[in-house]
Chain A
Amino acid sequence: MVAESNRVVALTRPRAPEVSAPFHADDVLVVRRPRLSAWHTADTALRAGALARADLVVAILTMCGVVVWWESLRGLPLLAMTDIGVASILPPTIWAGFALVAASFAVALRSNRKPALVMALIATVFVLHGLGVVAEPEMRFHVAWRHIGIADYLRARGVVDPELDAYQNWPAFFGVTAFFWETTGVDRLQAVLAWAPVVFNLLYLVPVIVIGNRVLGDSPLVWSAAWLFTLSNWIGQDYFSPQGWYLFIYLVVLAVLFRWFGEPQLHKPESGRGVVSTGLEGAPAITTAGQRAVLIAVILASAAATVSGHQLTPFALMFATGAAVLAGWCRLRLLPIILMVGTLAWTGYAATAYVAGHPETFGQLGAFATIFEQTVDNRLTGSPGHELVVKLRLLETAALWGLAAIGFGRLLRSGHQRMARGLAMLALSSFPLLAMQSYGGEALMRIAFFALPFMAILATVGLAGAPRGGRHRILPLLLAGGLFVGAFPLTRYGNERMDWYPPAEAAGVHAVYNIAPPGSVITSVTGALPWRSTEYGDHDYRLLVDGYPIETDPDIGSQGTVDMASPDPTVLAEQVESRMTPLLGQRSFLIVSRSQGAELDMMGPFAVGAQDRLRAALRESPAFRTVFRNKYVDVFELTRP
């Protein structure tokens, strides 16, 4: 009867010495617990019932929220969108959908039930990051279309051409896309890859939670940090892109390091006398030598794929692993050095064609003022609606970083000095990237992207309190989360007027490829166009607004922005003609579309309606003829070579 009177429970990790079965590291142990009273057993059952009810409540809330959200997005009047983006056309009911999903997370957090939290987080990702996917008829954002074109180029040719552009010097991401495309035989990749933001944001959550568990070791805080991470990811780098994918790899590498290669935790709390702590709260995983070898191989292989796939992420990974080593959270002390050598070797060997052709890329080293001007000041231009969106983005980022600073202070005050220092070092580890180059004016955004997971963890501490410090304050966290949810349609989808494409616009662009023979010049007014997703290397692609200063000379040549504010339509047409001039025997086409007009109206540098003036000038000019036209797209061909 002794056996019946003892309760036994299975655990996945050795916690107590009272082991009653032989085991190895990953086996399951049987641990004996003391006899429980009848009252305790009944209480546990009641609690179990109550918690199961919490799961049900969360399931109902998320389902209702998603259904309301989905129904609100049906028939959204996308053409009526203003310069503040998708928020200008959202019906009031969608806010009810957001509120229900946010409420589901609040209930899940209070219950601290994993199934409920998982459901609420998935629903949060879906309604926030899936908004653009569900509401829009075509894959959003022109760069994603271009990335498909690069994969298509590699798929068709089977070799890289480093002379073509930067992508061909860091081709790993596009190579694996081409490989998957070829082997699966998918016809229309856009329909699948439109879901990249949802998939990427779901993937990010797993390593973020693993890192949170290892660092904070406090379940409600960890799930809250994951929630805050999702809500504050307005940065929009999670479309089908190398940086979107490699942020996931970056997080997984760090999660593996912290989980399996963190310094062993000797004792806690940190402030105790005669004890040493690494600042990592969660228990380290037990590994064998073989497991460690395999994990190191996975880390190095992932790093190699990152080095050959993206310019910026290897540097961010190098800085982050360096910060982890300095914080005492990573025993692989050579890893940052290996990453540095690998990154420099790739840049100096495999990417020499790009480096030699673009010396200006490295000319900005240390030029903080110029880089800051390009990354912040230049973005604070455009229409009032667009300026409002940019300011909101900056405000939200500043608010998150401010909350993170408060969290840092809270950790220090609560005796978690090493944890505070380690998290701060990781959050700030990507900031040296700002000293390297402006990265096309995106450096600050990319830094915010890499810093976001750690900023979110610190901000959660700032809002809810230090880990294992008694009751957490959920209300400030939920209020801040509510504000982030409310701002999300503005901050994340603020550029949507130029980033979405009606099917007729995509069809209009496709029509150009049916008309243009290989080797043609294809010119676009701005880059905001679903083009180059096919025949990427077959044509000579040019832009009228190319980021260089506005030129007034009719013979503008291959560089400089065409002056669309020119009072003389003849001069404007001559500038366009000069830009489009083909080589002998080539044909030359110009695409003028709705989304480009939206970009010009939002971003400038011309007054609203610039594209209409351009279109009128080209229709009047004898040098051009219209070869295709629909509701959203005009295609002109240069008739005078």
Chain B
Amino acid sequence: MQANHNVYRQRRTLAPRVLVQNVAAATARILVLILAVSVTSLVAADVQSPVRAALTFGFLVFAPGFAILDYWNLSRGIFGAVLAVVTSFTLATLLATAQLYTATWSPQGTVVVMSVVTIAAQVLSIMRHHRPTALSTTDSIQRGRAGT
């Protein structure tokens, strides 16, 4: 009986807010993956269009940092987003500067490297956040529902 009360309470509380947050986080993760794959394809195919400019900029300023920080649950909220921007910019800055000093300047190659890093980090993050043993809120509800 008490377990049922807990389930009721959790469902009422979590449904409107936490689940929305979880859905938003999952959507962001999927969008980052799609963005990484799209930008890599556009750069590899050398497509010249304003869409490429917008997608590439959006990807480079946010996605790598978000993917890395998301794995560690550090990308939440406005400051998390700002931290993702700083991380992405810093990564791009260090790569670009290293290339300038070693005469290996390759912006397109750097985009591919950053895409690979993003995809790898994001896939790991998804695996971490959605593995069965994780104590996510969804798990809590499911456990409650199962009376465990």
Q: With A24-B135, A206-B78 given, is the CB distance from A159 to B94 under 8 Å?
A: no
Chain B residues packing against A (C-beta within 8 Å)? 5-6, 8-10, 12-14, 17-18, 21, 43, 48, 52-54, 56-57, 60, 68-69, 72-74, 76, 78-79, 82-83, 85-87, 89-97, 99-101, 103, 105, 107-108, 110-111, 135-137, 140, 144
* Chain A contact surface mostly: helix
Contact A175 B91 (CB under 8 A): no
Contact A175 B96 (CB under 8 A): yes
Q: With A183-B56, A183-B107, A298-B87 given, is the CB distance from A160 to B96 under 8 Å?
A: no
Give the chain B neighbours of A32 by CB distance below 8 A: 9
Enumerate A250-274 residues with CB–CB distance to B below 8 Å.
252, 255-256, 259
Give the chain B neighbours of A2 by CB distance below 8 A: 5
Minimum CB–CB distance from A479 to chain B (whole Å) comes to 30
Give the chain A neighbours of B6 by CB distance below 8 A: 20-21
| Cα distance A173–B68 in the bound complex, in angstroms | 22
Size class of the contact patch on chain A: 35 or more
Segment touching B, from A303-311, A381-389, A599-607: A303-311
Can you spell out 23 A-B residue pairs with CB atoms less than 8 angstroms apart? A6-B9, A9-B13, A24-B135, A26-B73, A30-B14, A157-B105, A159-B100, A159-B103, A159-B105, A175-B97, A175-B99, A175-B100, A176-B89, A178-B107, A180-B57, A180-B60, A184-B52, A184-B57, A207-B82, A288-B72, A291-B73, A298-B83, A305-B93
| Cα distance A252–B78 in the bound complex, in angstroms | 12
Q: Does A197 sit at the interface, judged by CB under 8 A? A: no
Q: Does A172 sit at the interface, judged by CB under 8 A? A: yes
Partner of B14, one of A6, A28, A157: A28
Contact B93 A172 (CB under 8 A): yes
For A9, give the chain B residue with the smallest CB separation. Answer: B13
Give the chain A neighbours of B79 by CB distance below 8 A: 206-207, 210, 255, 259
Question: Of A21, A159, A183, A248, which is in contact with the most chain B CB atoms at under 10 Å from its CB?
Answer: A183
A-B interface, 9 closest residue pairs, ranked by CB to CB distance from nearest: A158-B105, A182-B107, A175-B96, A179-B96, A184-B53, A305-B93, A176-B93, A3-B5, A26-B73
Give the chain B neighbours of A179 by CB distance below 8 A: 92, 95-96, 107, 110
| Cα distance A159–B108 in the bound complex, in angstroms | 16
Give 1 or 0 for each of A85-125: 1 = CB within 8 Å of chain B CB. 00000000000000000000000000000000000000000
Question: Of A2, A259, A305, which is in contact with the most chain B CB atoms at under 10 Å from its CB?
Answer: A305
Contact A304 B83 (CB under 8 A): no
Give the chain A neighbours of B5 by CB distance below 8 A: 2-3
Give the chain A neighbours of B68 by CB distance below 8 A: 294
Give the chain B neighbours of A158 by CB distance below 8 A: 99-100, 103, 105
| Cα distance A520–B137 in the bound complex, in angstroms | 68
Minimum CB–CB distance from B110 to chain A (whole Å) comes to 6
Give the chain B neighbours of A149 by CB distance below 8 A: none
Enumerate A184-242 residues with CB–CB distance to B below 8 Å.
184-186, 203, 206-207, 210
Contact A30 B93 (CB under 8 A): no
Q: Does A475 sit at the interface, judged by CB under 8 A? A: no
Q: With A24-B135, A183-B111 given, is the CB distance from A203 to B105 under 8 Å?
A: no
| Cα distance A3–B8 in the bound complex, in angstroms | 7
Contact A305 B94 (CB under 8 A): yes
Q: With A28-B137, A159-B103, A183-B56 given, is the CB distance from A291 to B72 under 8 Å?
A: yes
Give the chain A neighbours of B82 by CB distance below 8 A: 203, 206-207, 252
